[in-house]
Each structure stands twice: as C-alpha cells, then as structure tokens.
Amino acid sequence: MRIPRHTTRLAASAAVLAAALSLTACDSDARNTGSAVPAASARPGAGDQGAPSSSKANGQAKGGDATQVASHASGSGTGGKKAAGVAAGKGSGSQKAAGACTGAQVKATVTKVDRPLNHMLLTVTNTGSAPCHAYYAPYLRWDDDQAATTFLEASEPQAVVTLGPGQSAYAGIMYRAADGSGSGSHTAHKLGMLFANRAGGGSTGPAVRLTLPKGGITTDSSAWVTYWQSTVGQALSW
C-alpha cells in the first residue's frame, strides 16, 4: 500500500516536534536540579550554623545578632562583666589615667634623722585607688612663711616618680646648713606641704599639715628639699 506523501511529511514533523519537546524538558530538569545544590564553598560544615542570608546580613546584623552579642558581653558573672568592660573601653588595659598626686589622696609624715646632719625625711603614701604622679619637689612652708623652701635642683631624678595605690615617695629636707651659713634663723612648729602640678608652675590640690618633732625645728634661709625620690636612700643621699 502506498502512503501518501503528505502523510509521511506530517509523521516526520510530529517526530521532530516530540524530540524537541523531550530535549527542552530534560534541559529544564537539569537546570532545576543544579540550582538546588549549593556551591562547595557555601556549604556549612558540621559545626557551623550556616552562612547568613542577605536579609540576615542586612537586617539582623543591626538588630537580632548585634543584640545577642551585646547580651553575651554583658551577661552575669565575672566573665560577663569583664567582657562588657573591654567592649566599653574600660577593661583592665585602660585603668584610670594617673594625674598629679595631691594632699587629698596621700598620707604624709616627716621624721628627723641622725644622718645626714640637720636632715628630715618626708614620706608620702598613696592611699587612693588610682596611681598618681609626684611631680618635681614638694612645696614646703615652715609655719606661716610666705616663700616655699628651695628645691635642690641637683637631686632631680631621670623620671617622674609614680605612686600606685599603697606605694610611697620620699624627699630629703635639709632644714639648716651645718656650717651656719644661713640667715633668718627661727624655730618652726608646723610644716605645710603642697604637691607640684604637672607644668611645674605651681601647686595643686589641698595642702597637708605636718606636725614637727616636739620642740620644733630651727630652720633658716639655707634650707632646701630634694625632688621626689622612689627610695629612702636616694632621698637622704644629698
């Protein structure tokens, strides 16, 4: 039986169309399957929580995630408080800045010594909770003298003496020259002391009032005081 030519052409066209549709479906399935599998670099490991989506990175990073981090940093217990302090710039590495020592944060004493002759030792101890700097030398006034006692410039140390809580600084006081070269001799019963400011142009803070040994101390114009020293030996070596 002879098949008409137009029927043959129709069958061939149908076969070509079916093949095309089949190829299109396969290609679509391949694309869908590929998009469902993440790239190896984005795949979370066993212990990971997964990479944030774009909405999490743009939104919760400023809200939920940031709040959670802050909550951990300021949680209860010693560790939480320490973390909160570091985050706020108040951790152990950023203690209170040391300022000039003043009479408000020290205990001061003055004692007469046997050697060197006509000397006393001035001791100040930091009773505060923060360190302080003992700049230059103490300003001393015998009783109600208007002028401060001369600084012994030769005693200036190489570095400023810094007192941590509970630490002490020392100054040697020569109240009268042994050779009698001074003038204006008088007996003082009290000694006022002020700390120098950082600039060295004057005093700072309240004064400390010291009671001198019984009977007072006879002083004159030859008196001087050393710069602050870190040891008793240095203070009495002049």
How far is 109 from 103, CA to CA, in rounded Å? Answer: 12
Delimit the domains of the chain by residue range. Answer: 99-235
Q: How confident is the model at residue 125 (pLDDT cuts 50, 70, 90)?
A: very high
160 has pLDDT over 70: yes
68 has pLDDT over 80: no
Query: What number is the average pLDDT over the span 91-112?
Result: 83
170 has pLDDT over 60: yes
Torsion, Cα 96 101 105 107, to 10 degrees, reads 140
Q: Extract the tokens encoding 23.
A: 């190829």
Q: How confident is the model at residue 111 (pLDDT cuts 50, 70, 90)?
A: very high
Q: How confident is the model at residue 151 (pLDDT cuts 50, 70, 90)?
A: very high
| The pairing of beta strand 224-225 with beta strand 150-151 | parallel
**Pair 184, 147: CB distance under 8 Å:** no
The more confidently predicted of residues 60 and 237 is 237
Q: How confident is the model at residue 85 (pLDDT cuts 50, 70, 90)?
A: very low
| Predicted structure pTM score | 0.61
204 has pLDDT over 60: yes
Query: What number is the average pLDDT over the span 151-173?
Result: 97
How far is 174 from 176, CA to CA, in rounded Å? Answer: 6
How far is 133 from 224, CA to CA, in rounded Å? Answer: 21
